[in-house]
Amino acid sequence: MTARILDIDDPDEYHELPDFSSSVAKTVIKQSAAHARAAIGKKPTKTMDRGNVIHRLVLGKGKAYEVIQHANFTTNAAKADRDTARKAGKIPVIAHDFEEWCKAAEAIRVQLADRGIVLDGASEFAIGWDEVTPHGVVPCKGMLDHVWLDTGVILDLKLTSDAAPSAIERTAENLGYAIQWAAYTRALAALRPELAGRVKFIFAFCEDEEPWVVNLTEPDGMFRELGERRWTRAVSTWAKCQAENTWPAYGTQINPLTTPAWALAREGYTDDER
């Protein structure tokens, strides 16, 4: 695989690139190639302002913001200032919200530092690389929250309402974090071949309300294997669709609609009755 550093300052520029990414791969796996194709090159449809601002405050780089000196966005003056900030490509933030988000960011940085993690690497680090498949080469992109290039360590910040182990396991599966692990570790190994097989990936799950607790996690072997399989399958599917210029969704046949096992169990059906 070949790789290159992408010179990108604004996350919007990154999202507009037409390359394949872990987000697109998640859509291929969870929905279809047709859905993934529609998502290429588009900015996120929902701006998660709090998450983006806290990311910038913690990492020191990311989407620009502008503090709006109003109590809320209900007045015409506040709406005008909000719209002006949006047009300038900035996130409008109410002043009292900004104060709260600064506290959250500081709490997160302190907890990371208490665990020996000082963010002195590179933040919002964008990599482009090529994946080779039986159906052709797929240009890919990835933006790493924070990376220490010399040691091959990636830190990914995840804001969540619940960072308890049982909760983040469900979150990681539902949001396809294993695919992200595979994509980003492959990207870094492509950029720095000497790191192949030695890249370390840490997910920092941070609760988005006081006391802003941080739970640091590192993917285990099964998580990594699942991510690698899903990423490889998604890239190969994408390459095949590009080569054939066909973008299937759910098929043209009439698909069966079955009752899930949990619904049958709830109604008291036995294994023999199923």
Q: What is the CATH classification number for the domain harbouring 158?
A: 3.90.320.10
Residue 122 lies in a domain: yes
Contacts (Cβ under 8 Å, ≥6 apart) of 145 = 55, 59, 123, 124, 154, 155, 156, 157
Residue 225 lies in a domain: yes
Residue 263 lies in a domain: no
Residue 255 lies in a domain: no
Residue 266 lies in a domain: no
- Between the two ends of the chain, the Cα-to-Cα distance in Å is 48
| Cα Rg of the chain (Å, integer) | 21
In this prediction, residue 9 has a pLDDT band, given cuts at 50, 70 and 90, of confident
Number of folded domains in the chain?
A: 1
Residue 148 lies in a domain: yes
Residue 11 lies in a domain: yes
Residue 94 lies in a domain: yes
In this prediction, residue 46 has a pLDDT band, given cuts at 50, 70 and 90, of very low
Cα separation, 243 vs 80, whole angstroms: 47
Question: What is the domain extent for residue 118?
Answer: 3-247
pLDDT in tens, 79-126: 999 999 999 989 999 999 999 999 999 999 999 999 999 999 999 999
The model carries a pTM of 0.90
